[in-house]
Structure 1
Amino acid sequence: MNLADVFPDKPEPDDVYEAFTTWTSDNGIDLYEAQEEALLEIVSGNNVIVNTPTGSGKSLIAAGAHFAALSADRTSFYTAPIKALVSEKFFDLCEKFGTDNVGMMTGDASVNADAPLICCTAEVLANIALRDGAYADVGQVVMDEFHFYSEPDRGWAWQVPLLELPHTQFILMSATLGDTSFFAEDLTRRTGRETAVVTSATRPVPLYYTYTRDPLQYTLENLLETGKAPVYIVHFTQAAALEQASALMSINVCTKEEKAAIAELIKGFRFTTAFGKALSRLVRHGIGVHHAGMLPKYRRLVERLAQAGLLKIVCGTDTLGVGVNVPIRTVLFTGLTKFDGSRVRRLRAREFHQIAGRAGRAGFDTEGHVYAQAPEHVIENEKAAAKAGSDPKKRKKVVKKKPPEGFVGWSEETFANLQEAEPEPLVSRFTVSNAMLINIIARPGNAFDAMRKLLTDNHASPGIQRKLIKEAIAMYRSLLAAGIIENLDEPDRSGRRQRLTVDLDTTFALNQPLSPFALAAYELLDPEDQLHALDTLSIIESTLEDPRAVVAAQQNRARGEAVAQMKADGIEYDERVERVAEITYPKPLEELLTEAYNAYGSTHPWIRDHALRPKSVARDLYERAMTFGEFIAHYELSRSEGVVLRYLANAYKALDQTIPDDAKTEDLRDLTAWLGELVRQVDSSLLDEWEQLANPTDDGAPPAITEQTSSITRNTRAFTVAVRNAMFRHVELAALDRPDLLAALESGLSQEEWEEALDAYYETHDDIGTGPGARGSGMILIDTTSTPGHWSVTQILDDPERHHDWRIHGDVDLTASDEAGTPVLTITELTQA
């Protein structure tokens, strides 16, 4: 029975509290004192700040808050800092309240957005608060991981709802809030509700701390032998996490029975990428990897195997410190320092407590453990000293290993201080932007008064407020000069004294803020141009955030190839250095887009809040005619597969949603369909899980960890483009005269056969064209009817004389393609017509 089945007939506080606690009791849940206190305050209508340790049941408090709001027919919002956590809570709340009652909004996608309970990112709620203010249909907000209020780039989104939603009941939750007296007083003043602060210094599952000077592998073996697994080994780089996981394969982590259980659970799961194949070997051994660069389906797999108690070791970064619900008994820090983007520094108290708090989960453990390894050189020195024993001569000969250059050290004292340290005070990160100003002008009422209140009654210091007021005035004048807003002589019926002269989409500032610019730039392209579809993609890509790992890899590869060529050309070192410094990652249409951006910004000043970022990632993938896996391998991005896929998914959504259907050419439709299907075939885990929740099985058995991929051949348009790309990949390699790489594609012909065929071609022609004309639809012939279950494909080569007398012939196996999620192509011959 879910919570939607037990709503009380009357939303009286006692009835709501009794209905919810009866449900918890029926489900075998005993409430902690802090949970009871928080729930009593919530049903009484008060704001509540929950400042209790990790593992003390904040998720249940959140569920009780949503239950109280929905019982009273109020809309309730749950916010979290990252989409992965929003997604996890969405699925969890679907199970508790039913799929009809729960929706999700993440800024670039939404599911059941009219539901009374919405899971969303903080930015989504902040923009709703700015757009609708006191009129917003937001009866209650549960803000999880509220310590993100102090994040430099995103903290504004956690503050805005507190400032702009005076009729809303707030529940702020985190294990590391520090002093909350300011927020309690501020919330009460703004909402007129009493604000209760629920704290608890006692964890339901106590933590025990150990500083160890033993080698990591010895420490792990000891933890496994003494029943302290599952162990989360915390690294602060993704490379170190995977390297450590691979190094632990020599330890016997699981029993034969546990390994068999893992194999049974994942038998329907597709490990399709190079990283996936490495992960498959690891998880079958009882070892997981978890970091933000992984594909979502791989992270979810590791989380679900850990939740099933089948992974004894998980090597990862601090991503599990952001609320993902995975049962961990022991957290093992490999170090107490991290690189924060500009320097290496020791962990802050809040960071340490967030990660350490994952150890010891209520309902799973009676105690949790936190271990910290001494620095590697300290461990080596102690090992050498122990080997020398008490012999003074031997001890004198011991050469101490020095720390690496630039090393920031830590010690047992550092570890002890972190345990006792209170989380740092939360700091206001309020900012002002054109989008904020436009949202407020668009809503009913006097925008000047609303903006003045927002700028003078936020949490920033007076000095910062004065700076923000000056910035807002400059933005307002810019919007006025551009004709985007106008002053009214008399207030209109809704009390506005200023109004927008342009119509804004209801999702303004929720989706890609540069989408209107992209649509305007699209009009500059010639639909008859062969590159029209790819140039459209370049416009869209220029509006997206840079996937830094990808563009860095592109730049490194471009520079490496350029250096090799310059060496071959005999260019001197100093000149090579000078030339290489000018080489960057590909930026198609950079000059055209920059001019268009400046022109558009003169009449639409708000776009200047968002930089133009020309780049080629999705386009590069298409032009190279690569599969996702080939692209990852080409740029050595196996640790960043998730980054690449998220970017491609964003590019697909923006391409699909920005350009109106009636303005799309057939080539653009083909490109869009191909990109969407590529994303789905690589990882459709979010959609799959939603479909499973909406259509649950009746047998009551836990679902297998499978990947419900769709048929790639079902989407004929997208599959046709994928087949054309697969064939053109052979053209590109043939143009490079690389029979070795052609044979490596497992395309049906051996290296010797490719060599013979290419020699014959190059006896008649000097080169093979690879430009737009060479890959046009007129250069490939696809017969879909000659053989059931197969397509016959012929690629015409673009020779210099345009004889078009050489052709690559191939066969596509449709059934095998569906199983693989990518065209399974066999080349039968390269021959002259």
Structure 2
Amino acid sequence: MFDARVRAVLGPTNTGKTHLAITRLLAHSSGIIGFPLRLLARENYDRMVAAKGERYVALITGEEKIVPPEAKWFACTVEAMPLDRRVEFLAVDEIQLCADPDRGHVFTDRLLNARGMVETMFLGAETIRPLLQRLVPQAEIETRPRLSQLTHSGPQKLTRLPPRSAVVAFSAAEVYAIAEAIRRRRGGCAVVMGRLSPRTRNAQVALYQNREVDFLVATDAIGMGLNMDVDHVAFAALQKFDGHKPRQLTAQEAAQIAGRAGRGMRDGTFGVTGDCPPLPEEIVDKIEKHNFEALQTLAWRNSDLDFSNVEALLDSLAAPAPQPGLAKGHDATDHITLSMLARDAEIRGLAATRGRVRLLWEACQIPDFRKLSDDSHAAVCSRVFRHIAEDGVLPDEWVLSQIALCGSTEGDLDTLMARLANIRVWSYVAARSDWVKDAANVQGEARKAEDA
């Protein structure tokens, strides 16, 4: 019996890595590929359906699950990969995100533990090579050069940006303000953000790809590999809020975004626009030469969890990293929520069996898309756990009433963005068909609210 092959295909943007992985995936009789964004999972699901047909292709993200009975090939977000399925091929995209202090532990777990029976492939930036070689010594590593040239073109006014430009901003308010300015002065543009529903996002992408408009305004979601016909990328800012604090973009992050310019053999350019300060020469040089410092540590969290009781679960989550090159990242929202709920005597009383402790952990893993910095998210997780622990299922009327609250389209931009974040929480809950009685109806109502 031969050993399963493990490959790492590394290199900058526009090297054909994802295309190679999808080709290999569909060449096997079964496979799973994990992407960093649900927009990417959806985009590649559509490609896989075009090649193999809806009957055999599945999509699994936190908020959306399409799993036909005969599904053989799965496009997923990295967090949602169904690792209990045995498949011939398994791949993870943007594997350098192992170093991300918030989500990196999930990618690192896949790097260390997720394998296809015949072939495993990790795709990402060259910066992860030394650590990948050390942590996965059996991996064959292939470096791919960029297919086209990427050149800095300096600052340009919004009114002077060339057609087929993407302007990148780092907040919904900035995105919509820039989009409105371009519409007034240049005639029209499309908007792409991670918060948009799949259907709204597809409509916006089609608007741009079909050349009905020549300009695109996007958040840095575009940097994770959305395939758009972009010739020029213009940064509207060089600072982002990373969930904890505002900070400057790293050179590697800037390169991921700038690298969306020039697809295939077509060259691309990048620069800044609006009030954005010039890109530092050092960063420009790194982007043009694809030369970045190697990663020093990857984020890690224990995945061998102890569900014997709540204290044991918390202790296992706090376990130290087992070897050099791995380090604990930020405490994730699920861990913080569990710590909060563990202080509730009633919750601890309900979580009296291994199965109930596991259920509590699953409830704590409901994503906090709203990020309100209060205890409202923990309250939702607590109520979900209590209902299922006591009644076996969530009351449809409660879930539907929460979804209905998200259906209003009134209010300012901040209100609408909060509504989109909230409906994503309830779309996640609705996608758990084991949590709701009439799953199809609840999921349909969630889709309607998201598309409103």
- Out of 23, 27, 36, the position equivalent to 1:81 is 36
Once the two structures are TM-superposed, the CA of residue 354 in structure 1 deviates from its matched residue by 0.7
Once the two structures are TM-superposed, the CA of residue 117 in structure 1 deviates from its matched residue by 1.8
User: Match for residue 658 of structure 1?
Assistant: 435
- Out of 102, 106, 110, the position equivalent to 2:61 is 106
User: Match for residue 95 of structure 1?
Assistant: 50
The AA in structure 1 aligned to 2:174 is: A
8 Å contact kept, 2:129–2:294? no
Q: Distance in 2 between matches of 1:60 and 1:44?
A: 25
Once the two structures are TM-superposed, the CA of residue 438 in structure 1 deviates from its matched residue by 4.3
Tell me, what secondary structure is at the counterpart of 2:292? Answer: coil
Once the two structures are TM-superposed, the CA of residue 417 in structure 1 deviates from its matched residue by 4.5
User: Match for residue 158 of structure 2?
Assistant: 217
Residues 406-429 of structure 1, C-alpha deviations (whole Å, 9 max, x = no match): xxx655435534525515516321
Residues 1:426 and 1:456: Cα distance change in structure 2 (over 3 Å): closer
The AA in structure 2 aligned to 1:679 is: A
Once the two structures are TM-superposed, the CA of residue 161 in structure 1 deviates from its matched residue by 3.3
Residues 1:117 and 1:677: Cα distance change in structure 2 (over 3 Å): closer
User: Match for residue 422 of structure 1?
Assistant: 292
Once the two structures are TM-superposed, the CA of residue 464 in structure 1 deviates from its matched residue by 6.5
Superposed, which structure 2 residues align to 1:52-451 within 5 Å?
Answer: 52-70=11-29, 75-107=30-62, 109-112=65-68, 115-125=71-81, 128=83, 137-165=86-114, 169-174=119-124, 176-189=125-138, 195-201=139-145, 203-212=146-155, 214=156, 216-220=157-161, 223=162, 229-251=163-185, 253=186, 285-362=187-264, 366-373=266-273, 375=275, 412-413=280-281, 415-419=283-287, 420=289, 421-422=291-292, 424-425=294-295, 427-432=297-302, 436-438=305-307
TM superposition score normalised by structure 1: 0.43
Once the two structures are TM-superposed, the CA of residue 331 in structure 1 deviates from its matched residue by 0.3
User: Match for residue 392 of structure 2?
Assistant: none
User: Match for residue 637 of structure 1?
Assistant: 415
Once the two structures are TM-superposed, the CA of residue 641 in structure 1 deviates from its matched residue by 4.7
- Out of 548, 551, 576, the position equivalent to 2:370 is 548
Name the stretch that deviates more: 292-301 or 180-189. Answer: 180-189
Residues 1:374 and 1:346: Cα distance change in structure 2 (over 3 Å): farther
8 Å contact kept, 1:151–1:429? yes
**Larger CA Rg, structure 1 vs 2:** 1
Q: Distance in 2 between matches of 1:353 and 1:680?
A: 34
Residues 1:621 and 1:503: Cα distance change in structure 2 (over 3 Å): closer
User: Match for residue 363 of structure 2?
Assistant: 514
Tell me, what secondary structure is at the counterpart of 1:646? Answer: helix
User: Match for residue 519 of structure 1?
Assistant: none
Once the two structures are TM-superposed, the CA of residue 96 in structure 1 deviates from its matched residue by 1.6
Tell me, what secondary structure is at the counterpart of 2:227? Answer: coil
Once the two structures are TM-superposed, the CA of residue 168 in structure 1 deviates from its matched residue by 5.4
Residues 1:149 and 1:586: Cα distance change in structure 2 (over 3 Å): closer
Q: Distance in 2 between matches of 1:165 and 1:426?
A: 22
Residues 1:423 and 1:142: Cα distance change in structure 2 (over 3 Å): farther
8 Å contact kept, 1:294–1:641? no
Residues 1:315 and 1:464: Cα distance change in structure 2 (over 3 Å): closer
Residues 733-762 of structure 1, C-alpha deviations (whole Å, 9 max, x = no match): xxxxxxxxxxxxxxxxxxxxxxxxxxxxxx
Residues 1:79 and 1:185: Cα distance change in structure 2 (over 3 Å): same
The AA in structure 2 aligned to 1:149 is: C
Higher relative contact order (CA 8 A, sep 6+): 2
8 Å contact kept, 1:80–1:122? yes
Residues 432-467 of structure 1, C-alpha deviations (whole Å, 9 max, x = no match): 26x73349xxxxxxxxxxx9xx98866655x879xx
- Out of 401, 407, 410, the position equivalent to 1:628 is 407
Tell me, what secondary structure is at the counterpart of 1:50? Answer: strand
Q: Distance in 1 between matches of 2:248 and 2:256?
A: 15
Tell me, what secondary structure is at the counterpart of 2:212? Answer: coil
The aligned length equals 411
Tell me, what secondary structure is at the counterpart of 2:34? Answer: strand
8 Å contact kept, 1:80–1:145? yes
8 Å contact kept, 1:337–1:345? yes
The AA in structure 1 aligned to 2:306 is: L
The AA in structure 2 aligned to 1:371 is: G
8 Å contact kept, 2:222–2:260? yes
Q: Distance in 2 between matches of 1:110 and 1:512?
A: 24
Once the two structures are TM-superposed, the CA of residue 368 in structure 1 deviates from its matched residue by 0.8
Tell me, what secondary structure is at the counterpart of 1:514? Answer: helix
Once the two structures are TM-superposed, the CA of residue 640 in structure 1 deviates from its matched residue by 4.5
8 Å contact kept, 2:368–2:377? no
Q: Distance in 2 between matches of 1:182 and 1:587?
A: 36
RMSD of Structure 2 on Structure 1 (CA): 4.4
User: Match for residue 426 of structure 2?
Assistant: 648
Q: Distance in 1 between matches of 2:301 and 2:379?
A: 32
Q: Distance in 2 between matches of 1:513 and 1:152?
A: 21
Q: Distance in 2 between matches of 1:179 and 1:547?
A: 28
Identity of aligned residues (%): 19
Residues 1:301 and 1:458: Cα distance change in structure 2 (over 3 Å): farther
Once the two structures are TM-superposed, the CA of residue 92 in structure 1 deviates from its matched residue by 0.9
Residues 359-409 of structure 1, C-alpha deviations (whole Å, 9 max, x = no match): 0111xx632111224856xxxxxxxxxxxxxxxxxxxxxxxxxxxxxxxx6
The AA in structure 2 aligned to 1:121 is: T
Residues 1:335 and 1:423: Cα distance change in structure 2 (over 3 Å): farther
Residues 589-632 of structure 1, C-alpha deviations (whole Å, 9 max, x = no match): 89xx69x97xx9xxxxxxxxxxxxxxx9975775xxx68235x4
Structure 1: gaps of 5 or more residues: 1-42, 190-194, 224-228, 254-284, 377-408, 440-450, 466-470, 486-499, 516-542, 553-583, 601-615, 662-668, 685-820, 822-833
Once the two structures are TM-superposed, the CA of residue 294 in structure 1 deviates from its matched residue by 2.9
Tell me, what secondary structure is at the counterpart of 1:629? Answer: coil
Structure 2: gaps of 5 or more residues: 309-315, 330-334, 343-347, 390-397
Residues 272-300 of structure 1, C-alpha deviations (whole Å, 9 max, x = no match): xxxxxxxxxxxxx4311122233332221
The AA in structure 1 aligned to 2:299 is: R
TM superposition score normalised by structure 2: 0.75
Q: Distance in 2 between matches of 1:437 and 1:169?
A: 30
The AA in structure 2 aligned to 1:432 is: N
Q: Distance in 1 between matches of 2:323 and 2:74?
A: 26
8 Å contact kept, 1:430–1:459? no
